[in-house]
Each structure stands twice: as C-alpha cells, then as structure tokens.
Homo-oligomer: A and B are copies of this chain.
Amino acid sequence: MDNRENLLDIALSLFSQRGYEGVGVQEIVETAGVTKPTLYHYYDSKRGLLDTLLKREEGRLLSSVLQASVYKRDIVYTLENIVRAYFDASKSHPDFYRMQIAMLFAPPESDSHLAILPFVSQQYEIIEEVFIQAVQDHGNLRGRHKRYASGFLGTINAMIGLSLEGELDLTKELVYLTVHQFLHGIFS
C-alpha cells in the first residue's frame, strides 16, 4: 500500500493511454484510490509527478542503451546491440515506449515535449557517438553522424511502430535484418 509509488504506476498507465495533457489530476487520484492532497503531498505539481515518473522509467532505458553502445571496433555488433536494446525495451514496457514517442513528437512548447526532450536527446547523443567512433574503422562515414544517428533511430522506431500495431514481431531475425538493411540497403 505505498501510495507514493502506486501513484507513479497509475500515472504511467493513464499517461501512456491518453497522454499527459489528456489525463486530469482528479482521474489519477481516483484511480489510485486516494485524494488530491495525497498526491500533492508527495509531488509538488502534476509536472513534478511526470518528471519523477520519467526519471524512473527513462533511467532503465538509458542505461540499457548506454551499455549497448560501447563501440569495440565492430560496427555490426554494436548496432545490433542497440537495436536489441530498443526492441527489448519496447517489448517489456510497450506502454512506456509508446508514451515516449508521443511525448517526443508533441508540440515543442508542451510540457510533454519539454519533459521528455532531455532523455531522448541523451539517447540520440549516445547513438551519434557510435557513428563518430566508427569513423576510425570506416572512413567513408565521416561527417555524416547526424544523418546516420537520426536515420538509424528512425528505422528502429519504424519497426517498433509496426510491432506496436501488431503488424510485426520484434524477433532476433529482425534485429539482424534491421542492421543489415541499414548498412547494406534493401537490395543486398
């Protein structure tokens, strides 16, 4: 009966279904079986609740991506690790992953976007660094790290998007196929 933690769980579930802006504080506390002052005792605002929630959930994903992104002079191996990290994250916490994407593409000035941006930016920078490191072994990648990091994440999210709609399974083969297609194109 930990109200503090329970409120986070309830909020995650509601936010991922209908969005941060689309869920009222009243609904959160009612679903959790408490009243408003209880929520405002633990968190100083609705936004504060969201920030705490994101810190908890993003921490897991971020450390997973960070671990997968260590470049040991094998670009195929590293990229496969990254794809696997993202696929695993979206499989074990699909609601949260959906919410992360929705918040990223929310209007630039919205609380949603502003709250998620630092976390997603970190992810992006970690991936970008891989392509920067890879230049030492693949000179022709030089100067294109922005495009590659963005395109790679775009491809990953396209696959995850399909799987969230039930159109696709995030299998081991798909990890290989995704990386292979990114590196060698759809013709090879």
Please report the C-alpha to C-alpha distance between residue A61 and residue B164 in the assembled complex, in whole angstroms. Answer: 26
Chain B residues whose C-beta falls within 8 Å of the C-beta of A16 in the assembled complex? 107
Please choose the segment from A1-9, A26-34, A44-52, A142-150 that sits at the chain B interface, where 4 or more of its residues have CB less than 8 A away.
A142-150
| Contact indicator per residue, chain A 144-178, by CB within 8 Å of chain B (1) or not (0) | 10111011011101110110000110000000010
A17-25, A35-43, A65-73, A84-92: which lies at the B interface?
Answer: A17-25
Query: Which bracket fits the contact residues of A?
Result: 35 or more
Q: How far is it, in angstroms, between the C-alpha of A107 and the C-alpha of B146 when the chains are bound? A: 28
Task: Pick from B18, B105, B153: contact of A105, CB below 8 A.
Answer: B105
Q: Which of B110, B154, B184 meets A155, CB within 8 Å?
A: B154
Q: Does A55 contact B (CB under 8 A)?
A: no
Residues of B near A106 (CB, < 8 A) are: 19, 102, 105-106
Distance in Å: Cβ of A35 to nearest Cβ of chain B: 26
Does A185 touch B at the CB level, under 8 Å?
Answer: yes
What residues of B have a CB within 8 angstroms of the CB of A110 in the complex?
Answer: 18-19, 22
- Given the known inter-chain contacts A18-B107, A110-B22, please indicate yes or no for A167 contacting B155, CB distance below 8 A: no
Residues of B within 8 A of A17 (CB): 107-109
A138 touches B (CB below 8 Å): yes
Contact B187 A138 (CB under 8 A): yes
For A188, list chain B residues within 8 Å (CB).
184-185
Q: Residues of A with Cβ closer than 8 Å to B?
A: 16-19, 21-22, 101-102, 104-110, 138, 140-141, 144, 146-148, 150-151, 153-155, 157-159, 161-162, 167-168, 177, 181-188
A-B contact pairs, 13 of them (CB 8 A): A18-B109, A18-B110, A19-B106, A19-B110, A102-B107, A138-B187, A147-B168, A150-B161, A151-B181, A155-B158, A181-B185, A184-B185, A185-B188
